[in-house]
Chain A
Amino acid sequence: MAAVHDHDVAHAHDHHPSGMMRWMMTTNHKDIGTMYLWFSFIMFLTGGVMALTIRAELFQPGLQIVNPEFFNQLTTMHGLIMIFGAIMPAFVGFANWQIPMMIGAPDMAFARMNNWSFWLLPPAALLLLSSFFVPGGAPAGGWTIYPPLSVQMGMGMDMAIFAIHIMGASSIMGSINIITTILNMRAPGMTLMKMPMFVWTWLITAYLLVLVMPVLAGAVTMLLTDRNFGTNFFNAAGGGDPVMFQHIFWFFGHPEVYIMILPAFGIVSEVIPTFARKPLFGYSSMVYATASIAILSCIVWAHHMFTAGMPVTGQLFFMYATMLIAVPTGVKVFNWTATMWRGSMTFETPMLFAIGFIFLFTLGGFSGVICAVVPIDIQVQDTYYVIAHFHYVLVSGALFGIFSGAYYWLPKWTGHMYDETLGKVHFWLTMIFFNLTFFVQHFLGLAGMPRRIPDYALQFADFNMISSIGAFGFGLSQLLFLYVVLKCIRGGAKAPAKTWEGGKTLEWTLPSPAPYHSFETPPVVR
């Protein structure tokens, strides 16, 4: 970022390469955090263009814009890019910027490894995206890459498998770094139960990542050997079982959805107390709720597979276990609401996104409980109801959390205030168009419109048109976010060290922009 760069030039004693090499070689957690955030934003736009192509095709019934094969590639790649390219790296970017500053550490524990974990991502993304240009095209069997489709596909699938390997390695390295930093490098006096909530949620997320990412690596390795080396893990003809892939995949996949939401919980748990000017209500219950969610998330995977063939006892177990997750999640929603209760609230953009998060994420949580009911799930599985559900938790959950955090910490990162008016406009456009896009998909799903199909029956036409209009509005609104961020980097009102009156965590004791090297002498936490 230009602002940080200028700052370095001013401190000529920080001998480090300049220009492109600075970013290639950097081991500074702030530089690496910045790169993670820009990478994820570029991937967000890439995945967004795919989503808009999908919505353009679905604007009207019939086939107009893309052929069905390409449509399938788009839905698959949209999922993979948004999950592995946009949401996860964005949170790692936040972790890199914020965790050392929030626990009073000078940098991440393994600075060189930190550089590697970032620079693995761009080649992996290129590998994944270039699969569009090989014979057979990109993976087209859905982001869950179920066999037998994923075993039969062309070499685009092999490229996706390698990309997943590389991104997984990057995530694991990042997680090891984050866990070590949090466990070993906290400022004197900062006990675990005094850590900011964002740090807690990331600690738990990082443990989930090292728990399940290797399992995904194993699953895609099995796919790779089934495809190329004559093994039969998932090949029924050779004594394997395609349903087994689903079990192994979702053993990763369900904790993965919490990996994508827990850091957003953390961000919201920082933003709400700041703008309500009250300490977080029920801090320790928040910690225990986060841990319970993480543990429960490991024993509910088969609720993604109710229709794949399962004894009724299994269905009942996974149904009740899934519903149980609503309890700690409810505790969190209650605590956020109670934090706002009788607070001196102001509604700056981060707070708007945080409140939007609570409101819409809870809606997504409710539709999740509905999907968890076996007989209803059998009805709605693979319909747009499921699409609506997981976009309510991933877009208005994870993504709103990211926006909230970005506006909250932008002044700290750049030293300038962002344009508050434009930020609010961005929020309201995002909020309105998001609901326009996804709320109607509940109705489409209940009426039986299947997902991953480029054409649909005539009775779905009106809702699809509304959804497509919403999607284009939503997509274009994000360009406004890009503008606000660029404007904030280039200038604006000088941000004070304590940008927000209610900010209590350690990063607000540092000047804005945060100096290139911070907390070289650890602060003492009372």
Chain B
Amino acid sequence: MNTIEANSVVMKKLLIFTVVMFAFGFALVPFYEKICEVTGLNNLLQADTLAENPQVDTTRWVTVELDANIQGLPWQFKPLQSSLRVHPGELVEVMYEVKNNSDREINGQAIPSYSPQLLAKHLKKLECFCFSKQVLKPNETRQMPVQFVIESGLPTDVNTVTISYTFFELAGANAANLVTKTNQS
């Protein structure tokens, strides 16, 4: 085999390797999600499970404030009650209401956010509208539940917590629109 042929063999191998590594970059995406799922690092979209015998601590009250935001989509979004008092360990259900003010069908995804941050460790959600995307037809109104337990492990110096949701428009046909709006805001 002369040098030119030998060179093109090496080049072919390296080009294939390059393409494989490009694909590997994209393969890291499902791999990353799988790792997060297996290790439970990032399960925003999954329901939590409760401990076997959740102890209700009736001696303690925690004030839960509910918050709702929208980011760049023509919806109205609010909780039906702005705050409530719960015992740690107690199963509660609250309702949120969302209304599509526009005359087009819109896919939205709610992303939760907690304050203080350590609430994330002690908040177990059994049911939430944020586990899946919400599709609202033009001018549709929907009431959606959140079922949760604040575990009794919540440090005793925390008396008020905030659960906040922000609706984002799921990209797709209107992605460009979303990007522009995000830029402006």
A residues near B, CB below 8 A?
109-110, 151-152, 154, 172, 175-176, 179-180, 183-185, 210-219, 222, 227-233, 235-239, 241, 243-244, 247-248, 251, 309, 311
Binding-face segment, B15-23, B57-65, B137-145, B150-158:
B15-23
Q: Known: A180-B11, A180-B14, A244-B32. Contact between A214 and B25, CB under 8 A? A: yes
A-B contact pairs, 17 of them (CB 8 A): A109-B11, A110-B7, A152-B179, A154-B183, A172-B18, A180-B7, A183-B10, A184-B10, A185-B3, A216-B25, A219-B25, A222-B26, A227-B179, A230-B173, A230-B176, A235-B171, A238-B170
CB of B39 within 8 Å of the partner chain: yes
Determine whether the beta carbon of A251 is less than 8 Å from that of B28.
yes
How far is A169 from B36 in the complex, measured between Cα atoms in Å?
32
Determine whether the beta carbon of B10 is less than 8 Å from that of A179.
yes
Determine whether the beta carbon of B175 is less than 8 Å from that of A230.
yes
Distance of A72 from chain B, by nearest CB (Å): 16
Interface of A is mostly: helix
For B24, what are the chain A residues with a Cβ–Cβ distance below 8 Å?
214-215, 218
Distance of B97 from chain A, by nearest CB (Å): 20
CB of B38 within 8 Å of the partner chain: no
Interface of B is mostly: helix
Distance of A324 from chain B, by nearest CB (Å): 22
Known: A222-B26, A232-B171, A248-B25. 20 other contacts (CB 8 A): A109-B7, A152-B179, A172-B18, A176-B15, A183-B10, A184-B6, A214-B25, A215-B22, A215-B28, A218-B22, A218-B26, A218-B28, A231-B171, A237-B111, A238-B168, A239-B109, A241-B36, A244-B29, A248-B29, A311-B39
For B111, what are the chain A residues with a Cβ–Cβ distance below 8 Å?
236-237
Kindly list the 9 A-B residue pairs having the minimum CB-CB distance in the complex, ordered from nearest. Answer: A218-B25, A237-B168, A230-B175, A230-B171, A214-B21, A214-B22, A215-B25, A180-B10, A109-B7
Interface size on B, residues (CB 8 A): 40
Determine whether the beta carbon of B19 is less than 8 Å from that of A214.
yes
CB of B80 within 8 Å of the partner chain: no
For A216, what are the chain B residues with a Cβ–Cβ distance below 8 Å?
25
How far is A325 from B171 in the complex, measured between Cα atoms in Å?
43
How far is A237 from B21 in the complex, measured between Cα atoms in Å?
28
For A241, what are the chain B residues with a Cβ–Cβ distance below 8 Å?
32-33, 36, 42
Determine whether the beta carbon of B32 is less than 8 Å from that of A176.
no
Q: Known: A172-B18, A214-B21, A217-B22. Contact between A233 and B7, CB under 8 A? A: no
How far is A392 from B126 in the complex, measured between Cα atoms in Å?
52
Most chain B beta-carbon neighbours within 10 Å: one of A109, A216, A219: A109
